[in-house]
Structure 1
């Protein structure tokens, strides 16, 4: 049986999506798969239980039989942290090992989803390097590419865990940088003994969120029909310039959310003449009848929020940063990217699995 630990050195690089993509393809290739999230630092409280939402979603999506308490065995809740800080230490190593044995029974491969950063899990002595050492799991590092600084991160992981670094998947590469990554970064990493299993371009559909998600996250009042909220927002733009420059500014991006003051009717009307999917108006100002009528003609919902523009932008950007792949269309699109851009045969060979 093989084990693969999917790790990252930063948040929101697509680990959960990569795990789903790998598990689905492995199932299609005839392998009996298992999945675990050994340590969960972000948990949700539901009636009668505390759960890791991503682990629960992956369990249901892949159709796994193992109970969720085995799939996500170590939940670092606020009460756990408080107990540790009070000196009431506990060992979670046995819990993790027992869960792993249960999940891996009769499986060809188990995919382990790592924590958000390399240091998370330190309080319970289950950081990424400790978990991979305990379970003797090779590491697939998922790294998004913004600049050559990301190469530093990859090399640091190699220096830290050595031969346990099986290879890397570089995700969210901007189109303008793809050729440089292919021709310069990949040969350099391969020359340093770090196999590059895949290069995934940035996809606006995958980076986007639904208007309904944005509305739920920001709160506020909806003007328009709820059915209009099914569209996807790919980017955010802030309306804070003069009216003369606004139209050319808003034309730069499509399928966007425009966040601007509720009293700026000039900017709101300009945004509605471009590819705008939602207006977010700050300061609890109700828009003018002219704006409401034009938005209705174009079926663009308006969200009224009480916060100022900068606070609203900050909240919206945090939502974009933690986009979840809990939508069938996104999962399908990501699976297509993985099929096209990821070297599964090379991974199987490195794990000792039959091709």
Structure 2
């Protein structure tokens, strides 16, 4: 069996896929072949439906037939990494289970946990791997996947595989999660990559925090700054989450939104505010035509109208001229803003421009020589 490396995190959406992309390309450039998979799938493209998170997919209730998952069970993240790195199909490792309400319910009703047999079953997926290294992306946290026998700790023990953690850094209190992981994983935890660090704090963390973590048995392979681009969300994803009507520019829904602005002030204040922002989604009432037109003249990726009333023809015409998607929602402004804020940093890395940026981020801020030496790939 090929050598195996697990990429995990203490919390969901910490940047695992970005690290997988950057590390895999680094290895490829050194002539080291890589396979990639997710033992527990979390995002699938289901027949006849748009892409959706498996965690939000509706499943069959007890006694139902359940959803028809694709075969082989290739997670969307795995497929995207494979396409981006041009991996042949045989280097994409199928998932064993899907994290979804229906599968969790079925597991719960079984009444028994068979972690060792589940991991052993997944191990058979790796028996045919012909690459130098198999990289596996674990579930979102240390506990996620326990019901399936496919949590990070269960996989590390069952596959006897080393682990790298990608960790969202806030301040020194963030260390508690890492210490818990160290306690759970023991010597299998090779090191961590700190992610989403405030850019101006990166030098301080490299100078002070990294050596301190090393003394605690937590080698730091990199300190990556927070990126608005990697946290961004497409207009299409916002429209899906909001259940919005797309009034115009349906062919521009791939635009990336990095910031959110609320058009609730007078037009002069709004224009000054909008000039300071970039790649915005602007949320405003359907009756505020003055704000809407001002937003279109700024760095606006989409304009979202709340409340009752149809957009005026001059507004639609100007939006079409500037190729800015116009969305209309039934929710009030507060609810709309809450949905959008939840989306930032909680979407998957499925855009080429994000992948390119992830390559550069990992290349500039991570040093993997100790890892490669440990794996015998130096």
Q: Give the TM-score, by structure 1 length.
A: 0.88
Match of 2:205 in 1: 181
Q: Relative to structure 1, is the Cα distance of residues 210 and 45 closer, same or farther in structure 2, using a 3 angstrom cutoff?
A: closer
**Deviation of the 1:120 alpha carbon:** 0.8
Q: Relative to structure 1, is the Cα distance of residues 284 and 26 closer, same or farther in structure 2, using a 3 angstrom cutoff?
A: farther
Higher deviation after alignment, 214-223 or 173-182: 214-223
CA offsets per residue over residues 227-271 of structure 1, 9 Å max, x none? 444432211122233445323333332111111111222332332
1:73 aligned to 2:100? no
Contact 1:284 1:307 (C-alpha < 8 Å) held by counterparts: no
Q: Relative to structure 1, is the Cα distance of residues 216 and 100 closer, same or farther in structure 2, using a 3 angstrom cutoff?
A: same
Match of 1:322 in 2: 346
Match of 1:307 in 2: 331
Contact 1:4 1:139 (C-alpha < 8 Å) held by counterparts: yes
- What's the C-alpha RMSD, in Å, of the aligned pairs? 2.6
Contact 1:71 1:103 (C-alpha < 8 Å) held by counterparts: no
Task: Indicate which of 90, 108, 131 corresponds to 1:107.
Answer: 131
Contact 2:40 2:150 (C-alpha < 8 Å) held by counterparts: yes
**Deviation of the 1:67 alpha carbon:** 8.1
For structure 1, the residue ranges without an aligned partner over 5 or more in a row are none
SS of 1:237's partner is strand
CA distance in 2 between partners of 1:24 and 1:95 (Å): 30
Match of 2:256 in 1: 232
Superposition map of 1:1-355 within 5 A? 1-41=2-42, 43=44, 45-46=46-47, 48-50=68-70, 51=73, 52-62=75-85, 63-66=87-90, 71-89=94-112, 91=114, 93-103=116-126, 105-243=129-267, 245-353=269-377, 355=378
CA distance in 2 between partners of 1:167 and 1:251 (Å): 42
CA distance in 2 between partners of 1:33 and 1:142 (Å): 19
| Count of paired positions | 353
Higher deviation after alignment, 229-238 or 101-110: 101-110
**Deviation of the 1:289 alpha carbon:** 4.2
CA distance in 2 between partners of 1:100 and 1:19 (Å): 20
Contact 2:167 2:192 (C-alpha < 8 Å) held by counterparts: yes
The one of the two structures with greater contact order (alpha-carbon pairs below 8 A, sep at least 6) is 2
SS of 2:139's partner is coil
**Deviation of the 1:130 alpha carbon:** 1.5
CA distance in 2 between partners of 1:225 and 1:60 (Å): 27
CA distance in 2 between partners of 1:225 and 1:325 (Å): 23
**Deviation of the 1:184 alpha carbon:** 2.4
For structure 2, the residue ranges without an aligned partner over 5 or more in a row are 49-67
CA offsets per residue over residues 114-162 of structure 1, 9 Å max, x none? 1011111121333211211111111100012233332222222223322
Contact 1:66 1:103 (C-alpha < 8 Å) held by counterparts: no
**Deviation of the 1:348 alpha carbon:** 0.4
Give structure 1 regions of 4+ aligned residues with deviation exceeding 6 angstroms.
none
CA distance in 2 between partners of 1:330 and 1:273 (Å): 26
SS of 2:344's partner is helix
Higher deviation after alignment, 16-25 or 208-217: 208-217
CA distance in 1 between partners of 2:204 and 2:91 (Å): 44
CA distance in 2 between partners of 1:56 and 1:278 (Å): 28
CA offsets per residue over residues 279-337 of structure 1, 9 Å max, x none? 11112432334534543454322111111112222222333232222222221221122
Contact 1:36 1:103 (C-alpha < 8 Å) held by counterparts: no
Q: Relative to structure 1, is the Cα distance of residues 59 and 81 closer, same or farther in structure 2, using a 3 angstrom cutoff?
A: same
SS of 2:183's partner is helix
Contact 1:21 1:335 (C-alpha < 8 Å) held by counterparts: yes
SS of 1:150's partner is helix
**Deviation of the 1:90 alpha carbon:** 6.0
